[in-house]
Structure 1
Amino acid sequence: MNTFSGPLVTPSELQDALKTQRPSVKVLDASWHLGDRGRGKAEYLKGHIPGAMFFDIDAVADTSSSLPHMLPSAGVFSDKVSAMGIGNDQSVVVYAAEGSFSAARCWWTFKVFGHDAVHVLDGGLPAWVGAGGALEEGEVKGQDIRPSRGLVQKSGNTWLLNQKAFKATLRPQMLRTWRQVLDASTARSGQIVDARSMARFKAEAPEPRPGLAGGHIPGSLCVPFTEVLMTGDWTRFKSSEEIREVFQSAGIDVDSPDPLITSCGSGVTAAVLTMALHLAGRDCTTSPVYDGSWSEWGGRDDLPKET
């Protein structure tokens, strides 16, 4: 059952849900900062929405990959989320702290694995505090509902295996590999949108990750992720009308029936564009994220680049 109606949730809506439907609502702090992996968790421990758990995008990932925070397998995601006590029948609200833009990545991850009851707190932690919301310190751990640890007592000495563990179902159409992106770039089929700054897109500014070439995927267009967010506030999206104008001014057809691939440095702000397109009226399953993004493309000598 989905507690909320839209992709974005206001602080007052979340406060009301936590008062009346708390068991069915899980809150996740998905704060992440480029170049400072431990900062998000440290900020969470100092103060977070009561009952919120920390969602580490670097840990809920394919840790065998050399690329940063690549999407995990469905099995790994199911295991990680079940360990947090999240089931398929619960609504998830994701937020980020001030200066963090990663809530949309967590939102997209749940969407990729078939969970539609996932939402982003509009305005993040600053909006929660501004609305009078309380904070608590320390770490919250959910009740582990993984089957191997989920024995529940029925009566007397009768025990049953807990069957409420999260079951992820991958939506492959929401994801792109470098081969698929290369095919789309070569054939000029669909659209490819890059969320990095225009300076990085044009190779006029260095990449923050060492060893990567400058430039962009041939045929792609640039829409810096900051353009779809409120000026100076990475926790708030612009209105759907403003978002449409941003994409249209960059030459992107929001209503195109063809896939609109989003890319960035490592798949985080690409998810911001995918969510922005969803807010502008586009089905999120038609705006797949190139998960490897420039961390993969820019690090390979065998893939074409433009500047």
Structure 2
Amino acid sequence: MQTTIVSAEWLHDHINDPDLIILDASQNANVSGLVPPYEGKYIPNARFFDLKNVFSDQKSLLPNTVPSPEAFEEGARSLGISNTSKVVVYDNLGIYFSPRVRFLFKVMGHHHVAVLNGGLPAWIESGYETALNLVPHISEEGDFRASFNKEILMNAEEIYKNISSQDHIVIDVRSAERFSGEIPEPRKGIRSGHIPKSYNLPFKKLLKEGKYKSKEALKDEFTKAGINDDTPYVFSCGSGLTACIAMLASELVNDNPVKVYDGSWTEWGQSEYPVEK
């Protein structure tokens, strides 16, 4: 199995593999205002991965932050996931929530995870069978054990020091209008603008009709954004979610080490750290 993305055809051919677990990461709402083209349909045998209420730090004042290894272990085990499991994750927007799930597994040391390119829409439009419900009950609990990998996370203090050191290229995947401060942030109390010396590569430029663009087109988008050297990348967005879309895109076409600033603009924009417009 690829550990980046898989096609609907691949998943259809392997859907009955005994060690394969399919996760549906769809959520009821998103700050990008995207609307799922299909409601009430699911890939057969898919299990619900609850990003908001289980697989985010419930004690954090910031949205979507990485949970503790213990909380992740408990949630993964309840879904029947073990360290030997191969995981394919999708969402009903095509590519939106699913890369975040893959990133969380990487943080927890599990690398046998891939995103379904095009998500549920690609599955349906390929003519494959759907189910009316997700798996309601997991009969056999998994024994997943996390191996926390903090090396792919950065915090606000590290991002602030990086303004001077430039050890990493900070890539902000919010829209150009939000990056430049031309429009207000969707979350109240958050300043407009961007982290000094960061680059803007809106995540929507990496996608076409709910799928990742070709590798050639992805490389071109990084180049057009002025990002074309071998410096490690750290991705940021509004809340650490869509940053993972661009992180996965980079893994498809670049060899640069990649990280995510988990607090992202929700944290930076309400802090005392400097802002550019």
TM-score of the superposed pair, with normalisation by structure 1: 0.84
Give the 3 Å change call, closer, same or farther, for CA 139–61 of structure 1 in structure 2: same
Cα distance in 2 between the residues matched to 1:120 and 1:35:
21
Structure 1 partner of 2:129? 134
Determine if the alignment matches structure 1 residue 9 to structure 2 residue 6: yes
Secondary structure, in 3 states, of the residue corresponding to 2:115? strand
| Deviation of the 1:36 alpha carbon | 9.8
Q: After TM superposition, give the deviation of residue 97 of structure 1 in Å.
A: 0.7
**Could you report, residue by residue, the CA deviation over 1:8-29 in whole angstroms, capped at 9, with x for unpaired residues?**
111121111113x1x2100011
Distance 2:167 2:9 in 1: 43
Aligned-pair identity (%): 36
Distance change in 2, residues 1:179/1:88 (3 Å) = same
When residues 197 and 282 of structure 1 are mapped into structure 2, their CA distance, relative to the original with a 3 A threshold, is: same
Matching residue of 2:156 = 178
User: Is contact 1:104-1:275 (8 Å) kept?
Assistant: yes
Unaligned runs of 5+ in 1: 146-163
What's the counterpart of residue 254 of structure 2?
281
CA distance in structure 2 between the aligned counterparts of 1:110 and 1:142, rounded to whole angstroms: 19
Q: Which residue of 2 aligns with 1:228?
A: 206
Query: Secondary structure of the equivalent of 1:120?
Result: strand
Misfit runs of 4+, over 3 Å: none
Are 2:64 and 1:69 equivalent residues in the alignment? yes
Give the conservation status (yes or no) of the 8 Å contact 2:25–2:91: yes
The Cα of 1:189 is off from its aligned counterpart by 2.5
Residue 119 of structure 1 and its aligned partner are, at CA, apart by 0.4
2:139 to 120, 143, 146: 143
Task: Provide closer, same or farther for how the CA distance between residues 139 and 114 of structure 1 changes in structure 2, counting only shifts above 3 A.
Answer: same
For the pair 1:306 / 2:276, whether they are aligned, the reply is yes
- Number of aligned positions between the proteins: 272
The Cα of 1:99 is off from its aligned counterpart by 6.3
Query: Does structure 1 conserve the Cα–Cα contact (< 8 Å) formed by 2:92 and 2:120?
Result: yes
Computing the radius of gyration over CA atoms, which structure comes out larger, 1 or 2?
Answer: 1
Alpha-carbon shift at residue 240 of structure 1 (Å) = 1.5
Distance 2:30 2:245 in 1: 15
Paired with 1:61 and 1:139, the residues of 2 have a C-alpha distance of 21
Paired residue for 1:295, among 241, 245, 266?
266
Partner of 2:48: 54
Residue 246 of structure 1 corresponds to 221
Cα distance between partner residues in 1 of 2:95 and 2:115: 13
Question: Given the superposition, is the C-alpha separation of residues 76 and 203 from structure 1 closer, same or farther in structure 2, using an over 3 Å criterion?
Answer: same
Query: In the alignment, is the contact (CA less than 8 A) between 1:31 and 1:100 conserved in 2?
Result: no
- Are 2:16 and 1:28 aligned? no
Q: Give me the TM-score of the superposition, normalised by structure 2.
A: 0.93
Q: Which amino acid aligns with 1:120?
A: V
2:176 paired residue number:
198
Residues 211-246 of structure 1: CA deviation (Å, up to 9, x unaligned): 10000000101000011111xx2x310111211111
- Specify every segment of 5 or more residues in structure 2 that has no aligned partner in the other structure, as ranges: none
RMSD: 1.9
For 1:47-79, what per-residue CA distance to the aligned partner results, in whole angstroms no more than 9, with x for missing partners? 100110111211211000010011001111111
Residue identity opposite 1:49 in structure 2: I
Matched residues in 2 for 1:85 and 1:70: separation? 23
2:241 match: 268
Q: Which whole-Å CA distance do the structure 1 matches of 2:134 and 2:219 have between them?
A: 39
Change (3 A) 1:213 1:144: farther
2:222 counterpart letter in structure 1: F
